[in-house]
Amino acid sequence: MGGNYNIFVGDKSYKTNFFLQFRSPRIERKFQEEVFSRNKYSLQGFLFLSLVGLVLHYMNGPCFQFYSECKNEGALLVSMLAIIASFIAIYTGSSFIILAFLLSFVTSYPTIAFADFLSYHTSILASMSYISLMGK
């Protein structure tokens, strides 16, 4: 059962040029809004699970239990605040640029935590996997 799974195929308003760029910025904005409306709930799920993961990671560490070996608390706080701000940005319908900016801070602490726990190559793979989950 073959078929094209692109929901915009055949729609004349979403035509692109040879380099797969939209013909006008207005059409590109409309396309981004369409895609965002379809991916909003998965992004909220990702943010919620990231927040739960950050809280559990912090609570299982020696910094929370004994207030010793505290590392990267600032990055943890920034990531948690960025998650909360991202929820607010999604709810209020902020621009995509603001949301992308906030999401770059969401990934800061998990990337540092992967580097602390795993070997160099494994931490890069884990970070890239975590970051690529945002785009799905």
- Tell me how far CA of residue 34 lies from CA of 6, 14, 28, 72, in angstroms: 13, 11, 10, 37
The answer to whether the beta carbons of residues 98 and 114 sit under 8 Å apart is no
Whether 42 is covered by a domain: the verdict is yes
Whether 10 is covered by a domain: the verdict is no
Please state whether 85 falls in left (phi above 0), alpha (psi between -120 and 50) or beta: alpha
Question: How many distinct structural domains can be found in the chain?
Answer: 1
Whether 3 is covered by a domain: the verdict is no
Whether 33 is covered by a domain: the verdict is yes
pLDDT in tens, 2-27: 444 455 555 666 667 677 777 777 87
pLDDT in tens, 52-95: 988 888 888 777 777 777 778 888 889 999 999 999 998 888 87
Is it the case that residue 28 has pLDDT exceeding 50? Answer: yes
> What domain range is 118 assigned to?
22-67+76-134
Place of tokens 């998990």: 110
The pLDDT of residue 10 is 57
The pLDDT of residue 1 is 45
Distance CA 11, CA 30 (A): 13
Whether 82 is covered by a domain: the verdict is yes
